[in-house]
Amino acid sequence: MSTDTAKVTYLGDLRTEATHVRSGQHLITDAPLDNQGKGEAFSPSDLLATSLASCMMTIMGIAARDKGIPLTNLSARVVKHMSPPPRQVARIEVHIELDATGLGEREKSILENAAHTCPVARSLRADLTQEIHFTYR
């Protein structure tokens, strides 16, 4: 038997509040400006795109910890591209940056493979383009 992951409440005016059941953490979503909203918080499709980067970074962190690979100054920039009607996320760009200190080609390959095989990346529909870029500083 599985337990609930989240509870979501519609607050009106195209806004929701999601509560993570286990931790009690809350987040608000708002419809984006280009879809009748105020754009005052993440939109649901923003969360979809952002979850790809968060998942990739988490799996990279697990791989780095398991393999003893240094992982410092890891960050990502996310760009979401919507299609014309019917609206859907058509492309997600994830620009991952990290410190290259102590990383050879083998370590970079391990980290990049981890990112590309994260559960969110593997769960998105096949025709949603995922453009993943790595920059080592």
Taking alpha carbons only, the member of 118, 117, 47 closest to residue 89 is: 47
What are 42-92's pLDDT values in tens digits? Answer: 999 999 999 999 999 999 999 999 999 999 999 999 999 999 999 999 999
98: how many CB neighbours lie within 10 A of its CB? 22
> Is the domain of 10 the same as that of 70?
no
Contact 82, 101 (CB under 8 A): no
Domain holding 23, by residue range, is: 6-35
For residues 21 and 48, state if they share a domain.
Answer: no
Same domain membership, residue 131 and residue 95: yes
Token pair 């780095």 is found at: 64
pTM: 0.93
